[in-house]
């Protein structure tokens, strides 16, 4: 996938890339792909935790993109995104696009019990009010979150990046089977399995309470004597994944590979996963993984960058070209 280094100046002016502090490596990689430098800005945190943003140059009449993932520290990163966009809006940017590789509160997408919020809707409203004209994000936990926005956007998937890696190592896999730890994730896992021409298995589990804990029950499908590829969209504390790995091993699985888009790896997830009998952890850089977390996973951690994917979407959005063509849609 190639991108031209000359971006036509259209009705929205030139591409102006801004980044918060949440994912500097990814932002720099996106800028390198587009051959467009990140614009200068100051982000200052005062002693009372309030944030201050100042742009180094004018963006009047320009096409601005704010790159900011909203992982932990969630509220600091979310506020940076909102304040950056409002600053651009007040400086008369022609168009502002929120580029959010990982969107926070995506699991709070419905009222599944009395007297609880739908926080994903609130976050969507905040992004719009702050000044976003468009948004770009990856692999939302629930597709209906797109409906919470009244502005246009591109919700893209990075699963094909993980599939390409697995296709490269396919020759060393023994009768691979795709295992999903969440029945609600079955449709996406089915697409994943189809691209690898592999059968599927499911883990039936039951989640109780609001403490993010769940109890794995049993496997539906055959994993005995097979390499198992566990697929999920996000790993938070790692509890469900470790349960899935253990139950797969109990049912006779050979090597276990764990693939996921968003490496939240919060609390002691990295340490917990590092102790699990997993051959490789295959993920992306939508959320940065600290050196402290990496040491628990060692050379079993394989990180595939989403920078070319996001960079190409930005290029096509700026030039008014189809994003669906990238996926033969």
Name the DSSP class of 93. Answer: B
Residue 131 burial class via C-beta count within 10 angstroms: exposed 0-12, middle 13-18, buried 19 and up? buried
CA distance 288 to 69: 9
CA distance 75 to 32: 28
DSSP collapsed to 3 states, 284-314: ECCCCCCHHHHHHHHHHEEEECCHHHHHHHH
Strand ranges of the sheet holding 153-156, from the earlier edge strand across to the other edge:
15-19, 63-67, 95-100, 134-138, 153-156
Name the DSSP class of 143. Answer: G
Q: Which residues contact 85 (CB under 8 A, 6 or more apart)?
A: 66, 96, 98, 127, 130, 131, 132
Catalytic residue among 89, 110, 111, 205: 205
List beta partners, residue 52.
44
Which of helix, strand or coil describes residue 316? helix
Active site residue 187: no
Active site residues: 205
């Amino acid at each position: 996938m190639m991108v031209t280094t000359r971006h036509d100046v259209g009705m929205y002016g030139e591409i102006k890339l801004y980044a918060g502090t949440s994912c500097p490596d990814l932002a720099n990689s996106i800028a390198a792909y587009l051959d467009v430098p990140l614009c200068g800005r100051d982000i200052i945190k005062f002693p009372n935790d309030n944030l201050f943003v100042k742009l180094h140059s004018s963006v009047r009449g320009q096409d601005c993109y704010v790159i900011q993932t909203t992982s932990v520290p969630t509220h600091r990163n979310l506020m940076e995104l909102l304040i950056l966009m409002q600053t651009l809006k007040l400086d008369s940017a022609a168009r502002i696009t929120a580029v959010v590789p990982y969107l926070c509160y995506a699991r709070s997408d419905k009222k599944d019990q009395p007297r609880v919020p739908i926080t994903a809707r609130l976050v969507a409203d905040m992004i719009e009010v702050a000044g976003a004209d468009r948004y770009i994000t990856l692999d939302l936990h629930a597709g209906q979150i797109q409906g919470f926005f009244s502005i246009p956007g591109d919700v893209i998937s990075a699963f094909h990046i993980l599939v390409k890696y697995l296709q490269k190592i396919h020759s060393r896999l023994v009768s691979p089977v795709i295992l999903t730890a969440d029945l609600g994730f079955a449709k996406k896992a089915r697409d994943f399995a189809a691209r690898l021409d592999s059968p599927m298995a499911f883990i039936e589990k039951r989640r109780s309470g609001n403490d993010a804990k769940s109890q794995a029950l049993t496997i539906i499908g055959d994993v005995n004597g097979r390499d198992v590829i566990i697929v999920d969209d996000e790993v938070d504390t790692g509890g469900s994944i470790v349960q899935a790995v253990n139950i797969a091993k109990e049912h006779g699985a050979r090597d276990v590979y764990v693939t996921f888009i968003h490496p939240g790896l919060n609390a002691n997830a990295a340490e917990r996963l590092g102790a699990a009998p997993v051959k490789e952890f295959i993920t992306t850089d939508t959320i940065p993984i600290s050196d402290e977390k990496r040491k628990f996973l060692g050379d079993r951690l394989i990180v595939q960058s989403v920078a070319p994917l996001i960079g190409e979407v930005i290029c096509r959005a700026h030039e008014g070209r189809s994003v669906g063509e990238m996926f033969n849609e």
